[in-house]
Amino acid sequence: MKRLPRQDLQEAIDPRPRRWRPIMIVRAALLASLLAFMITPIGSAEREITVITGATVIDCTGRLPIPDAIVVIEGGKIKAVGRKSEVRPARGARVIDATGKYIVPGLIDMHVHYREWQGELFLASGVTSVKDLGNPIEWVSELSRMQAEGRLRGPKIFYVGNNLDAPPPEGDHNVGVASARDSEKAVRLLRGFGVSAIKVRHKVTVELLREITKAAHAAGLPVTGHLGVTNAWDAATAGIDGLEHAAGVARAAAEAPDEIKIDAKGIKAFIEDLRGFALMSKAREAALIKLMVEKKVKLIPTLGVRRRAILEDYSSAILEDDRVAREQALAYIPERVRKDWSEPALDKMIRDQISKEDMQLMREGYRRLELFVREFRRAGGVVLAGSDNLNGVAGLTLHRELESLAAAGLTPMEALIAATRDAARFLRREDLGTIEPGKSADLLILGASPLDNIRNLSSIKKVFQSGRELDIGFHRDYGLPPARPSLVRPLLLERLLAAEN
């Protein structure tokens, strides 16, 4: 890949006069040292050997659970797993007696909008990895690097960076591409920043999508999308790998797709989203499911946020969020965010502004979406768990997504695999997602079996990430990374594209 000279890249990122940069570098170094001191995890995983005994291991490979098992962790990885009679732990190992408990892989949230204050929230809910779906590439890639280097306590951050859209792009972090040449350049630049996937947005046409997927696949990257003008059928034939929010499904399966508005804004967009699913034809649904399975298109339906909108009683979610909002140790989270957990503005807006008739139609649309998800899974399709986490407490929103998938008809094991093995496969991270020798030791020890009830995922006793047992409490002195910047065009990626041209 052709790279900008380091000096030019620095100019693009930081236009301040160079005489100030030595001062900024010293300040950054001091801050990094302080953060590293503040977030040192429990123990060191470099050579420490940890043995967990007596638990039932649900490895998420598709095999049956292993009762009364032993898991050996060494050097941050799983060294061995099996029945007690099959595995002999090394002498001098740290032993954790987990008799009567359950071990599952760390959870992966496949649809998040990461903010700098969310790290402890995710870990407290056993979310050890996330896929961020829309942030400025220079910021989110830096947070991902900080986490990987042990300077930020939080989940492993996989990211798409700036989303690609047709010009002029909508949203503060989206970048417009208009041709095959633009698409190839944007993909190369994003790949250079370490993205795990490319995300496309509403205005991308099927012709442009075909060029983006061609460039992304050549670079070894999957493409996911929040579609608008392109429906799911056309997107599948153009090579898309994932459908966020099940976007494009309703217009592909409706008898009269033009009746589904794709340019609604605000609360009307929420109504139109679910109304569209109510207009689907069962025959068209079946054909679309067949095509998506054949093309290996993954479905990220984000059911939880919609289910909350149509439930008559959602008080339990508000009470759960309110308890977190009142945690004194979370004073570092912006007050407006914590207030919204206790008094959710979106929930109030839905109740105040949506008529009974519209709510009835939304509930029918949600029922049809649930049926689509269930039939897609039964046909062999891959469903991934993503929470769209800004409406609620990060981490808890993934648990609600998994509960919603189970309510839609997935088995608890299928729901769990949607947030572990299959999520890791989409990210091309074969070192994550299952409990097998050689895999990263991202594990949860639970007090009850999630296979009996998916809600038992909340019975977290311990969390391990890369072999380290984490402190999953909340801390006033949490080392906040740099805040998400306010963006002004031209964005960094736009400037880099212009420089290439």
> What's the rounded mean pLDDT across residues 36-45?
44
- Cβ pair 119, 130 in contact under 8 A: no
DSSP state of 26: H
pLDDT range class, residue 46, cuts 50, 70, 90:
low
Name which residue leads in pLDDT, 24 or 128: 128
- Cβ pair 137, 94 in contact under 8 A: no
Does 464 map to a domain? no
Domain boundaries, position 391:
104-438
For residues 67 and 192, give the distance between their C-alpha atoms in angstroms, rounded to a whole number: 44
Give residue 91's pLDDT: 85
Q: Would the CA dihedral through 397, 289, 180, 208 be positive or negative?
A: negative
Does 228 map to a domain? yes
Does 367 map to a domain? yes
Give residue 18's pLDDT: 39
> What's the rounded mean pLDDT across residues 237-255?
98
Give residue 8's pLDDT: 41
Give residue 425's pLDDT: 99
Does 10 map to a domain? no
> What's the rounded mean pLDDT across residues 181-209?
98
Under 8 Å CB-to-CB from 489, ≥6 apart: which residues?
none
CA dihedral defined by 136, 245, 424, 468, rounded to 10 degrees? 70
Tens digits of per-residue pLDDT, 432-443? 999 999 999 999
Give residue 167's pLDDT: 97
Tens digits of per-residue pLDDT, 66-85? 999 999 999 999 999 999 98
Question: What's the CATH number where 214 sits?
Answer: 3.20.20.140
Does 374 map to a domain? yes
Q: Give me 283's structure tokens.
A: 């025959």
Tens digits of per-residue pLDDT, 96-126? 999 999 999 999 999 999 999 999 999 999 9
Does 468 map to a domain? no
Helix (H) or strand (E) run with residue 33 in it: helix 21-38
Give residue 45's pLDDT: 53
Q: Give me 340's structure tokens.
A: 């919204």
Does 259 map to a domain? yes
Under 8 Å CB-to-CB from 380, ≥6 apart: which residues?
293
Give residue 314's pLDDT: 84
pLDDT at 10 over 60: no
pLDDT at 32 over 80: no
Q: Would the CA dihedral through 168, 170, 176, 178 be positive or negative?
A: negative
Tens digits of per-residue pLDDT, 445-494? 999 999 999 999 999 999 999 999 999 999 999 999 999 999 999 999 99
Q: Percentage of residues in the chain with pLDDT exceeding 90? A: 82
Q: Percentage of residues in the chain with pLDDT exceeding 70? A: 91
> What's the rounded mean pLDDT across residues 135-141?
98
The pTM score is: 0.91
Total domains, the chain: 1
> What's the rounded mean pLDDT across residues 333-355?
93
> At 127, which amino acid appears?
V
pLDDT at 39 over 60: no
Under 8 Å CB-to-CB from 378, ≥6 apart: which residues?
none
Annotate 190-205 with b (16+ C-beta within 10 A) or e (fewer). bbbbebbbbbbbbbbe
Does 69 map to a domain? no
Peptide bond into 490 cis (omega under 30): yes
Distances (CA, A) of 83 to 2, 51, 191, 437: 51, 13, 42, 14
Distances (CA, A) of 49 to 58, 80, 260, 405: 21, 11, 57, 36
What 3-state class would DSSP assign to 225?
Answer: strand
Under 8 Å CB-to-CB from 463, ≥6 apart: which residues?
106, 123, 126, 128, 443, 444, 445, 469, 470, 472
pLDDT range class, residue 141, cuts 50, 70, 90:
very high
- Residue ranges of the alpha helices (H) in 193-314? 206-218, 232-237, 249-253, 266-278, 282-294, 303-310
DSSP state of 83: E
